[in-house]
Amino acid sequence: MRLFLFFLPLCVFVFCQLSTPKNAHTSTSEAKIDSLYKHDPYDISQAEVTDSTDVYVTKTSKVKYLLRFPRYILVMMVYPLEKFALQVEYAKLWVRYYKFFTNKTGTFGLFPHGQLGGETGTGVGARLFHTNILGRENTITAHYIYSGGQGQFCEGLYIDPNLLDTGLIWKIQGGYLQTKNKNANINGAINDDESRLFELKKVDVETSVEWRLKTDEIASFAPQFKMVGRIGFSQRDFMPVLGGLQPLSDPGSSPQARLLKGLGTIFKFYRFGLRVMYDDRDYKKPVRQLSHPPNYRFPGRIVTQFGDQFYFARDIGYPERGGFITLEGDWVTGPDRIAFYKIRAEAARYITLFWKNRILVLHARMDKVRSVGDGFVPYTELIQLGGNESARGYTRGYFRGQGALQFNVEYRYPIWDYSNVFLFWDEGQIFDHFGDLRWGGFHSSWGGGIAFRTETDLLGKIKIGHSTANRFLIGFTMSQAF
């Protein structure tokens, strides 16, 4: 807009000059300047110019139009989103919305909230937060969704970022879910079987303490190593709505999953876990000098000065370099012969490909759960694949077993300031024992989508996946799996 306002007077001036008649009055200064060039032997305007009758006409062939067709389609899809984003930014709609539902200091808010899909299907509810409880910057958040006869969902989280001034992070979180939605996790593997339907009521409460290697002012700007210890309690009420107690016969479940252990009972168990993680996603070494002034806002990059060095904020929503590796395990025990352990290993690497902001993501993850002694693993606690974060061409929970192995390749390409498209290819398989793993057991899915983000985090992703089970599968998520 500023550029347009700059050029408008210039265009008006040029138009007025060109439209002035030849016999119009000219000023003395204009006449003097004009006289300086009337006798210039190098002024070609004073010489005769040979008229050229050669005319070259460029024709665009049908082939060129055909090659441009993908570009036209992309413009038609992206242009309305760009216009909408500009209008939202210009009108500051998000700021107005935020201020309407929060207090003056912005530390407390109560927002209306809706849900499309998910564990309970379409529903409405509210989200609450407070970021400065008792003036100690402790945080509490709560979220509730009601979906009528399909169920309801609520969760809460309390965070103390500096437990007893030790630098440890203390969390208490809990959730309640009641669902018999046919697209819920428990029903994902039987999504196409109208004769089977399960209902689940579950309660989870957990407390954890997190230790971080770096806790100073540059902690969020530097690579981080952290350990999390947790203790939790869970209760499951796993009921058959249709189909009775007979085993499953669907191809997405392993032999152990088809047994439906725990169906028709209410069981409780306790969980003890530990997670270790190293994370250097999007880390860039600090510098002493910048190519731009300190007050310059780098596109998609926040620069902060600590001491005599400038640090670059890590964009976890769109990492361009680095990666992470995670190892974790849980020991689970309880009455009714519930006894098992669960382990997970996960790693990801981000590589800048071809040009800046064109990112290739390589990701791998292995999960395994195994019973201990004469104990068993309930169906609800088995490993699953499918949904918006794994095997994205399959519905949520389509594959289920005592183990899962997956590999993901994703290419991310920016199309706007804070949005990017992505193309993905997923390979995954489920198993009960490591000896069941085989090369021909992998299931492929591929597709693409668009992600919306801020300067440091993800807002949401829309994806379209394809697999042998689903020709086109559309999904939306507000989390980044890797």
Cα of 308 vs its chain's centroid, Å: 34
The pLDDT of residue 293: 61
End-to-end CA, the chain: 38
Angstrom distances, CA of residue 478 to CA of 114, 213, 222: 13, 28, 25
Cα–Cα dist 408/364, whole Å = 6
Q: Are strands 303-306 and 473-477 parallel, antiparallel or unpaired?
A: unpaired
- Beta-carbon contacts of 434 under 8 Å, excluding residues fewer than 6 positions away, are 368, 403
- Return the pLDDT at 135: 75
Is the separation of the CB atoms in 347 and 322 below 8 Å? no
- Within 10 angstroms of residue 195's Cβ, the number of other Cβ atoms is 8
Q: Which CATH code fits 182-477?
A: 2.40.160.50
Q: Of all helices (H) and strands (E), which one includes residue 100?
A: helix 93-100
Distance between CA atoms of residues 331 and 243, nearest Å: 32
What amino acid occupies position 210?
E
Both tokens assigned to 411: 């290419």
> What pLDDT does residue 48 have?
47
Rounded Cα–Cα distance for residues 431 and 382 (Å):
11
CB-based contacts of 135, cutoff 8 Å, min separation 6 = none
Query: What pLDDT shows up at residue 77?
Result: 67
Q: Hey, what are 51's tokens?
A: 């008229």
Residues recorded for the chain? 482
Per-residue confidence (pLDDT) for residue 11, from 0 to 100: 42
Of 168, 152, 301, 181, which is closest to residue 241 (Cα–Cα)? 181
Instruction: Please report, for the chain, the start and end positions of each structural domain, with discontinuous segments joined by +.
Output: 68-100, 182-477
Residue 109 exposed, middle or buried by CB count within 10 Å (0-12, 13-18, 19+): middle
The pLDDT of residue 137: 84
The Cα 473–Cα 387 span in angstroms is: 9
Mean pLDDT split into 10-residue runs, the chain, 482 residues? 39 39 40 38 42 50 66 69 71 78 89 87 93 86 94 96 92 96 87 86 97 90 96 96 88 92 95 98 88 56 82 87 97 94 98 88 98 93 92 92 97 85 96 93 94 75 92 86 87
Give the alpha-carbon dihedral of 96, 100, 104, 105, to 10 degrees. Answer: -70
pLDDT at residue 138, as a whole number: 92
Backbone φ and ψ for 72, nearest 5 degrees, come out as -60, -45
Question: Cα separation of 238 and 379, whole Å?
Answer: 9
**CA–CA separation, 234 vs 272, rounded Å?**
11
φ, ψ (nearest 5 deg) of residue 146: -115, 125
Closest CA to 389 of 482, 253, 254: 482
pLDDT given at position 124: 95
- How many H helices and E strands in the chain? 5, 20
